[in-house]
Chains A and B, each alone.
Chain A
Amino acid sequence: MKKLFNLNAYSVKLVAVGILVLLPWTAIMAQNAVYRGLIVDDSREPLVGATVQVKGSSQGAVTDLDGKFIIGKMKPTATLVISYMGYDTKEVSVKNGDNLTIVLRSSTSVLNDVVVIGYGSIKKRDLTGSVSTINAKAIAERNPTNIFDALQGSSSGVQIISDSGTPGGDAYIRIRGTSTFGSGTTPLYVVDGVPTTSISFINPNDILSMEVMKDAASAAIYGSRSANGVIIITTKKGAKGKPQLNVQYEHSFNTLSHCIEQSTPVDWRYYLNTRYALTGLSKYLEIDSLKPFYNYDGNQKDLLFRTAAKDKLDLSFGGASDNISYYLSAGIYNEQGIVVKSNFKRYSLNFNGSYKPYKRFTIGTKIGLTYSDRKGINEGDVTANFYNWMPSWSPFDVNGNPMHNIGGKNSTYSVANLENHQYRNFYTNALIWSEYKFNKYLTLRSNLSGTYNTEKQYYFRPLSLGSKNDKATGRDVTLLNYNFLNENYLTYNHTIGDHQFTVMGGNSVQKWYYEHARLMGSEYTTDYIQTLNQATVFLASDNYSIKEVHSLASFFARATYNWKSRYIFALNIRYDGSSRFAEGNRWGAFPSTSAGWRLSDEPFMKWAKPALNDAKIRLSYGVTGNEDVGNYLSWATYQSNGIYDGVGGMTPGLTSSSLGWESTSQYDAGIDLNFLNDRLILSFDYYKKNTSDLLYETEVPKETGYNTVTQNVGAMENNGVEFSIKMNILKLKDWNWDLDFNISHNVSRIKTLADGVPFYTGRDGCVYVQENHKIGEFYGWKHNGIFAYDESNAFDDKWQQLTPVFENGKFSHYTLNGQTYTGDVNQKKRNGIVLKGGDVNWLDNPNGENMGVIEDDDRVFLGCAQPSAYGGLNSNLTWKSLSLYISFFYSLGGKFYDYQRYQRNRQSLDWTCPEPSVIDNMWVSQGDNAIYPTPDNRRKNLNSNLSPCDYWIEDGSFIKLRNVKLTYSLPTSICNSIGLNNILVYCYGNNLLTWTKYKGFDPEFGGDVLAFGIDTGRYPRKREIGLGINVGF
């Protein structure tokens, strides 16, 4: 105890003052006491410091440490007025007797909602950090598959882009922009006090609330894992009262939401014919062929995509009495993918219970089991390939059997049907917690948790799929991760009059174990047995097992003080030690501080009270860290790699000798304004994040003999503003309409790089990373049309293009701005070849070297993948028992590199069919005013094969109608008459509409930390329409 008080000298003084002032006073009052009472809250906890006033007189009292009060003689008809901050004021007549227990209800204001923060909770009223809350009701409205669906567009500052449309897929989540280069970008999830980085196991139906900690003051209590923000998830517990059984079932139909336009067999034959002619080859056989194989007229799309069904069943049973609380839930989720053969199943079981054997001691346990089974697809061969399949070629032979391999190219239909990509996950988590209350103020909490997770990945590619050079190959990968956590912390909570303070301190240790084993074999004896006992060739270089360990030890503390909730201060510190860093750099301190000022409670703001019921200004600053890098990067190690003459080689890794923490400091200033009794709530935040000592795996010059090294290389910054508005537009007897809207703007910018050296990353080096520039900037070649004639490649000394003039079909002379030009003629070249008619007129960067030569330094800025704004709009309209929920999600201003379109239209291979608009607008003969270059195979490296270029940079802005849900709640009388509590029936649609100019499948797809917005032809997204019912017994 003594040690704790030393932590904060200020709070010691406060305690002293409180005791001195309060104790003698209550003692004096007691001498004349005639009327006694106890004041408690909803959960029967005593309220300390509540004011008791005799109505119409100056007589009064304040409740003591046990919530009790004693008041002097008064009229028997007197009325007591009991008030307490955050609770509805209550009037009690004394004639009801002595020794009453008076229950105060917390006021319904949103300001009294409890917000869970790290190692504790706080009323929204007293919050000084920037935290968004999503509760169970808001989650349920969205019919989510995972927490990402539940969070997307729901709160400002949180950008969620689902990785692809694959069932059971992951998402790309950024809280207030990207503040790291190479280490992890996912936020830390804290589920019922247990930190974790993977969240796919959780059934959204089990979630009571999610709190997103956006600023450093809120997140820094999680120290070295908090730089990307923290999401605290609280799962459902049994509610007091009778046991409740709840059953929910829904069924939906999923279809492809948007398909890319495909070329017709006629387009394809024309294209191939033209290509051969221009390349100077004779016609390809197919053109004349009468074989049915070359005259397929089915739709490739219909072979791959289907209308898929999804079923979801959730059961829960829970209840609580004074000493015991229990909640059990079971969920079954079964989704077919819209691409044939793909699917996702999840089964989850949860138990959450607590028991209070003694008055001061509570012990609880939570056990969760989840099994999931996902069948994925080979995106590279299926979704990225199907639309460039030769449209006249049949995937079937004359007998209708699938042709697996045609001319060295696998049929997308066969790959989708025959390849097996299975991911199964077995997840178990057990938590035992206990809480010991020393007295009213001091509580010790201990968490002991173990998590065990196994992922089994199976892969099989049958022989029948391969061309002659392929073998049947298979993989069986086991990833075993388990970790243990112990956390203990003491919380001291005290309110004395208008002074409220909390001190919390504790420690945490967590250890992770990783085991990764890969079995890989080939040349299976049969395609029908797909386990590795049938493989005949196992290569030493493909098979391995790896073990790793990682530990984190931490101390943390927090102190908060507020006076009448008007002036609020908080101080956090965490001290973390990680095994991942070099000795000497292992420990790091992460402090944060914040303050709040409730402007609306100041006397000078009294005039505004009727309209502005609450106004609060928040300020915070803090330092968060990131340790999410490889476990042994600070060690110089040799690892086995490659075999020569039967001897395994040992290859050194390149090490930076001083690897340490990446840290982010963040300033946040915010204001919350609640008008008209919370019917209009505005919230605005500005923040600035500076990240230094970025952990990044940088490419090193290959002359060193290495590829990359991980080092602390530089600094970046994020600046942003967030705005949200919540409105209760209608509040009538039968009508209620809530509308909320949020918008966020964030710019991630690189400040310094290792030695200031810029670098290219992403596909074909399309992203250029340089100091004082935004991240996600695409650099490439720009073009200015196609040379119509061979003679069109002509420029004057200032590189203005000359116009060729033809007389009688023969070139005569050039003109410039209408004047005949007789000076020197310069021509553009690439790779030493003079560009001619049908070639792209690439722009030559005037700042580059070698004017007229199209080379590397002619690459210029083409656009940035960061959106300038993103957010959501959610509306909930209720009329009697009907409610309609609609949500939109939008992202505006980002540019994408449509890499799948480039792959399709680069004309580098014969067996790739371009899109119809390219075939229609390509250069074919002299004088064509074309949009796309000649299909001449010999010119491809001068033209269409150049990557990246502005042809395929597209606007990625979009607005999506994310959810629509219509719910009807059956009248209670009907429910009760059949012995039920409530019945809800609903129908819903997800991803119904997208407004975008983007030409790919969908403008929503994931990416790397630095190279995002690059569309490689991911699993496309579904449109979902479903029905559901929820019955409470």
Chain B
Amino acid sequence: MKKIYIVFMFGFIFCVTACSDFIDDKPISTLSTNLYWKTTGDISSARAAMYKSFADAMNSNYFRWGELRGGTWEEAHDGQGIQELVDHAITETNSACNWSDLYKTINKANLIIKHVPGMFGVDAGIQQKAIGEAFGMRALSYFYCVRVWGAVPLFTEAVEYYDKSLMKPRTSADSILVQIESDLKRALEFLPAMSSSDNTRYYMTQLGVYAVMMDVYAWEHKYQQVVDLWEKNLNVMPSNIFAFKDYVSTEITPENITKWRSAFMDGTNDKELALTVKYDYATDGTYNSTKSFFWHSGMQCMITAKTIALFDQNKDIRYLGTVRPQNDDIKPYKLEKFYDWGFCDGSAHEGDYSDNDLIMYRYTDLMLLYAEALNQVGRNSDAISYVNKVRLRAGLDALPSTLSQQEIANAILDERHLELIGEGKYWFDLVRTGNASLVGCPAGKILFPIHRDHLNQNPNLTQN
């Protein structure tokens, strides 16, 4: 009996004394912050998280931001929230109004910019590259913000702990653009020069930074800087890295069409490409979800007959490279360019996840921007020659050299339209060149509204 009593008392005392240690449980399956930012592995995973956020942003909005308002599209029978984009009557709950993923990219870039420079004992080259990429991705994300919403809140410091000073008002679009330019310049300081072996385009490289920079300058109508950037930086890239793909024949055959589509279909390392976003179902579990816009069942949008009519179907190899006419009265045209729809009934490969990367910038896009700038700085004939390079490659006739500056500007815009269908460009082209009214957009409706949730969560924001 006494023994039982003693055992009891011991147990009691033991439990009483050990309590503070007893409740000290540390995370097992997550990493506390003070253990992160130590190794090159940490740099890689931080970069991957940043790119993944950007890939998420593009996956949901690449079409919605840059394409759907461009007059090329109409809502297909089952479209969801697409018609309001086409009609420029966007409600504040449309998913296109959500900026979460862009700001996730920005914060992850900010974390890299904050933590990586202070890391010890890691390869300086890897460190520099990551910082450069972070500046580049931050600039690209803000550039989307500016084009979509105009003024947006500006975050250049990493957010790690929460406090209410994080409810920032919007910063003017001009100030954001100043930040973007400065970020792009800093990116160039950190990123290594392009080497001929470095041909991955789904990371931010000097080539990518130049591409973004050119687009930014064009957006700001700084045409001379666009011209200079092309001539001094982009046009001097080694031709195995970045070059205009010239095809031998323009005869419209399946083989030639496949060749024309090669940059879109299989070319993560294609020399036509400057910057892409990677999707890979097998390794990353991600896929290019823009394909789902065109599934036959549940098709969300389709190319308008008006756009189809712009193609010279007898000559332009891009027609069948871009469009797949379907034997369907209700849904006649779907986008062919990026997707492997198969060649039988148009549905054999419909369900396959698309691994095709989304193209941010490619040679022809930038060359046409260059042509646009040339035209604006008065070098009209040079401008025509670059447009003609694109036309001839597509199988069309060259433009006459007698066109006026305005006619050339229109021709460039038309060429960009046909060349870049589905690449998230044309709506921004219309806005940049002041032509948004051509597709029925009223003057006050060019910017997207800010999503209702954002306004609710931050009372310092004002709606567009």
Contact = CB atoms under 8 A, between A and B. Distances in A.
A777 to B, nearest CB: 15
Contacts of A578: 23
B11 A645 contact: no
Contact of B161 (A654, A764, A938): A654
Interface stretch (A125-133, A230-238, A258-266, A703-711): A703-711
Given A637-B30, A644-B286, A705-B155, 19 more contacts: A408-B297, A467-B298, A469-B297, A488-B12, A539-B281, A540-B284, A548-B29, A577-B23, A579-B23, A637-B32, A654-B161, A699-B453, A701-B457, A703-B152, A704-B166, A705-B108, A754-B164, A759-B457, A833-B89
B390 to A, nearest CB: 31
Interface stretch (A79-87, A421-429, A628-636): A628-636
A929 interface: no
A498 interface: no
Interface string B420-456: 0000000000000000000000100100000011111
Contacts of A446: 8, 11-12
A507 to B, nearest CB: 6
Contact of B282 (A537, A706, A908, A941): A537
B22 A509 contact: yes
A655 interface: yes
A549 B26 CA distance: 8
Contacts of A467: 297-298, 351
B332 to A, nearest CB: 14
Contacts of A759: 456-457
A542 B281 CA distance: 12
A470 B292 CA distance: 11
A509 B19 contact: yes
Contacts of B166: 700-701, 703-704
Contacts of B90: 831
B255 interface: no
B346 to A, nearest CB: 11
Interface in B127-181: 152-153, 155, 159-162, 164, 166-168
A407 B298 CA distance: 8
A1032 B357 CA distance: 74
B49 A650 contact: yes
Contact of B31 (A637, A754, A833): A637
8 contacts: A436-B8, A469-B351, A636-B33, A637-B32, A643-B48, A644-B51, A644-B55, A702-B457
A754 B51 CA distance: 32
A400 interface: no
B84 A647 contact: no
Contact of B103 (A577, A638, A702): A702
Given A407-B297, A488-B12, A704-B166, A470 B31 contact: no
Question: Which of B20, B56, B350, B456 gathers the greatest number of chain A CB atoms within 10 Å?
Answer: B456
A856 B442 CA distance: 22
B159 A647 contact: no
A486 interface: yes
A444 interface: yes
Contacts of A636: 32-33, 160-161
B149 to A, nearest CB: 11
A541 B84 CA distance: 34
B100 A645 contact: no
A599 interface: no
A467 B78 CA distance: 15
A976 interface: no
Contacts of B42: 650
B284 A550 contact: no
Counting chain A residues whose Cβ lies within 8 A of the other chain, the interface size class is: 35 or more
B347 interface: yes
Given A541-B284, A649-B45, A637 B162 contact: no
Contact of A542 (B111, B285, B454, B458): B285
A631 B25 contact: yes
B347 A468 contact: yes
Interface in B171-209: 200, 202-203
B283 interface: yes
A577 to B, nearest CB: 5
Interface in A516-571: 537, 539-542, 545-553, 555
Interface of B: 1, 4-5, 8, 11-12, 15-16, 19-20, 22-33, 36, 42, 44-53, 55-56, 77-78, 80, 83-84, 89-93, 98-100, 103-108, 110-111, 152-153, 155, 159-162, 164, 166-168, 200, 202-203, 278, 280-286, 292, 295-298, 347, 350-351, 442, 445, 452-459, 461
A642 B48 contact: yes
Nearest to B352: A469
A635 B27 contact: yes
Interface in A732-790: 754-755, 757, 759-760, 764-765
A507 B457 contact: no
A559 B2 CA distance: 28
User: Which 10 residue pairs of A and B lie closest in terms of their CB atoms, listed nearest first?
Assistant: A705-B107, A649-B49, A408-B297, A642-B52, A539-B285, A637-B30, A701-B458, A541-B285, A553-B19, A649-B48
A511 interface: yes
Contacts of B105: 705
A402 interface: no
A932 B395 CA distance: 55
Nearest to B83: A938
Interface in A355-394: 358, 360-361
Given A488-B11, A636-B161, A856-B455, A549 B28 contact: yes
Contacts of A917: none
B350 A657 contact: no
Nearest to B161: A657
A586 B285 contact: no
A706 B8 contact: no
Nearest to B298: A408
B284 A644 contact: yes
Contact of B33 (A638, A706, A833): A638
Contacts of B168: 701, 703
A700 B162 contact: yes
B51 to A, nearest CB: 4
Contact of A468 (B26, B164, B297): B297
B90 to A, nearest CB: 7
B339 to A, nearest CB: 12
Contacts of A706: 104, 107, 159, 162
Contact of A577 (B20, B50, B286): B20
Nearest to A361: B4
Nearest to A467: B297
B4 A436 contact: yes
Contacts of A764: 93
A639 interface: yes
A652 interface: yes
Contacts of B351: 466-471
A909 interface: yes
Contacts of B26: 635
A646 B283 contact: yes
Contacts of B5: 436
Contacts of B80: 908
Given A507-B16, A643-B285, A646-B283, A551 B25 contact: yes
Nearest to B111: A652
A439 interface: no
A770 B19 CA distance: 40
A641 interface: yes
Contacts of A649: 45-52
Contact of B25 (A537, A550, A757): A550
Contacts of B347: 468
Contacts of B56: 642
A489 B70 CA distance: 75
Contacts of B29: 545-548, 639
A397 interface: no
Contacts of B457: 699-702, 757, 759
A651 interface: yes
A648 interface: yes
